[in-house]
Amino acid sequence: MTGGSWLCLLAPLVGTILITLCGTRIPRVAAAWIATTSVFVAFGGAVWAFLGVHAAQRCNGSNVCIGASSRGEITTAWTWLQSGHFSVGLQLLVDPLSTMMMLIVAGVGGLIVLYSIGYMDGDDEERRYFAYIAFFVFSMLMLVEGGNLLMLLVGWGLVGLSSYLLIGFWHERPSAVQAAKKAFIMNAFGDATMALAFFILIAHTNSLSFVALSGPLSSTQANLIALGLLGGAVAKSAQIPLQTWLPDAMEGPTPVSALIHAATMVTAGVYLIARTHVIFEQARTIELLAAGTGALTLLVAGLIALVQTDIKRVIAYSTMSQIGYMFVGVGVGGYANGMFHLMTHAFFKALLFMTAGLAIHALANEQDIRKMRGLGRVMPFTKWCFLAGALALVGIPPFAGFFSKDPIIASTLNIGWYGYVFYACCIAGAFLTGLYTFRLWFLVFPGEPSPFVREHYHDHHGREGAWTMLVPVGILAVLATVGGWIQFPPHWDPITKWLAPVAPSLPDAVASATQETVTSVVAVVVGLAGIAVAWAVYSERKIAIPAAPSLRRLLEEKFYFDTLYDRIFYAPAAWVATALRREFEEPVVLQTGTDLGNTTLATGGLVRRLQTGLLRTYVFFIAAGAAAVVLAFLIAK
């Protein structure tokens, strides 16, 4: 069980190191397969750990299992850091929550790395790409397996670093470099708030273990710690107000987008809240703030997605929106709901990105959906797989999203008046999801191929892509279809039971059977309505797109968040920097150097007159000096 977790963690790291050390001595394909194998080995380790936890959890037959083994096991490799009574070990935690994340990260991650073999084929720096991507998986595994908060923060930071490296992978594009920097800075902000929360925790409990979170803390301290953790979660998961990096992150290669959105990175915030739910329950206001943030984000992202023209950006905004649902889920206290949606979302979002990648790859890197009409005629496999992903995203039964999204919406009903607000937001979000997803679908796939598609489409030896690309897409299409069947609350809830020892859902967040049923019906009807509107507007052109130029502009400018941050943060900083240069650096710093030199020269010019070169002068001064000293002593006496 613990052996599995170490194998899972270290396999991708070994892969990265191997690729780095071998360098150009091995062919590109070998580097690609090293990365793929290492991630699949990690998946094997995750399965091993899962089976171990599974066996431990069945210890007493009932579903609530009491005892150390069911709460998970912490293995400590060595003490990593010690200062007085404070010590942090290099620890891994194997428990139901972490094994679930390990399976998702390594499983979906492995499929994405396999897919990149075909996608990145022929790129100049393939080896670097595969070293980075294995490192990305390693970082995320470190994050989810970390046995204490510091290990979690290390993984957290490494995920930020590797996302920076991968978003900016095509470093010859200025926009990619900008996007990478933006993602890194936004994430660093979250890292900082998390670190501050940890400092408070150390100051009051002298520990960074997960257990310390339930320690005696005043409500202010609990609130502050929860707020700091929420800051980290919001930054990593691209929620308002730190969401602007995510769409720009589309500058990276498409498999990287899939990895960031499905398996690693953005789901980390949801995991963090589920993992540290103890502190969030002590700070209920902050937890509800997380839910509120999610509700707001899912609406805003859904609206912005309506006007995007880049196929990847539409999917990116849908990720923000879906993570918003997960935040609502964990924010109201339904941790299992949030984690379940995280899992199904990993399947269908990876699927959507990969099918988009197939289209982009086949169309010579074109990403503009306005040029893509009728792609389904030439790429039927891509079309049907995308449809499976899209239906899962909208939440149409029997696809995965239906099973995971509806419990989240239903769970908001019992927590008070703000629950109804969240409920309304989620239902509106479901409509928007149907609308923007099928806008994408109707614009890209049905109908006669556009001239652009006819001209630029090129297949891969008679297929729509290399087999390494098609196989993961096929597997994920199956998972996006059936992956939701493992939980159907309130009738069947293996995931809730699985997670119950670590993150039991709050009683408020458990919806009754009636609420579940009604919510499911409403959400599906609303989602279908969204699809119908999309069909009427974008396929049949029966309804004209409302002109509303100001609204359109608001959405195209992404609610002016970027502009706002430019004005608030960038512009003042740039102004201060310019002013400091003009008022301080040039007159003070630079001038000081010049003045020092000039003064020294002038003084030297004066003093050099003393150097006559005549021996007698020197002797005279020595004698006179000695006489003066003697005289001084005599007078002093």
Name the site residues for other proteins (rule: CB under 8 A).
607-616, 619-620, 623
Q: Specify which residues 81 forms β-bridges with.
A: 88
Of residues 420 and 620, the one with the C-beta less far from other proteins = 620
Residue with smaller CB distance to other proteins, 514 or 612: 612
Sign, Cα dihedral of 407, 408, 414, 418? negative
Say how many Å lie between the first and final Cα of the chain, rounded.
89
Q: Which is nearer to other proteins, 547 or 614 (CB)?
A: 614
User: How many other CB atoms are found less than 10 A from the CB of residue 613?
Assistant: 6
Q: In whole angstroms, how close is the CB of 598 to other proteins at the nearest point?
A: 19
Are residues 110 and 36 in contact, defined by beta-carbon separation less than 8 angstroms?
Answer: yes
Indicate the residue among 542 and 608 with the shorter CB distance to other proteins.
Answer: 608
Min. distance of Cβ 611 from other proteins in angstroms? 3
CB of 617 to other proteins, least distance (A): 10
Quote the CA–CA distance of 414 and 512 in Å, as a whole number.
9
Tell me the helix, strand and coil percentages in the chain, rounded to 5.
Answer: 75, 5, 20
CB of 610 to other proteins, least distance (A): 7
Nearer to other proteins, 544 or 614 (CB): 614
User: According to DSSP H, which parts of 445-512 are helical?
Assistant: 451-456, 467-482, 494-499
Measured distance CA(323)–CA(308) in Å, rounded = 19
Shortest Cβ 595–other proteins spacing (Å)? 23
C-alpha to C-alpha distance for 550 and 552, rounded to whole angstroms: 5
Distance of closest approach, residue 635 Cβ to other proteins, in angstroms: 20
Of the pair 25, 616, the CB lying nearest other proteins is at 616
The residues, any chain, with a CB within 8 Å of residue 465's CB and separated by 6 or more, are 118, 358, 361, 362
Shortest Cβ 82–other proteins spacing (Å): 57
CB closer to other proteins out of 216 and 613: 613
Output the smallest distance, CB 628 to other proteins, in A. Answer: 15
φ, ψ dihedrals at 202, nearest 5°: -65, -40
Half-sphere exposure of 611 (CA within 13 A, CB side): 5
What is the three-class DSSP state of 374?
A: coil
Are 340 and 411 in contact by the 8 Å Cβ rule? The answer is no
* Smallest separation, CB 616 to other proteins (Å): 5
H helical segments located in 283-414: 284-305, 311-331, 335-362, 375-378, 380-394, 400-410
- Please say which residue, 175 or 612, places its beta carbon nearer to other proteins: 612
Token pair listed for 186: 């936004």
Instruction: State both tokens at 421.
Output: 């607000």
Q: Cβ of residue 195: shortest distance to other proteins, in angstroms? A: 60
Residue 566: count of CB within 10 angstroms of its CB = 12
Q: Which is nearer to other proteins, 25 or 609 (CB)?
A: 609
Provide CB contacts within 8 A for 576, sequence distance 6+: none
Q: CB nearer to other proteins: give 547 or 610.
A: 610
Which of 382, 429, 386 has the alpha carbon at shortest distance from 408? 429
- The tokens for 14 are 């070994």
Give me the least distance between CB of 180 and other proteins, in Å please. 59
Conformational region of residue 240, where left means phi above 0, alpha means psi within -120 to 50, and beta covers everything else: beta
Q: Any idea what the Cα angle at residue 289 is, between residues 285 and 294, rounded to 5°?
A: 150
If the CB atoms of residues 62 and 611 are measured against other proteins, the closer one turns out to be 611
Residue among 525 and 629 whose Cβ is closer to other proteins: 629
State the minimum distance, in angstroms, from the CB of residue 630 to other proteins.
12
Calpha distance 56→231 (Å, rounded)? 35
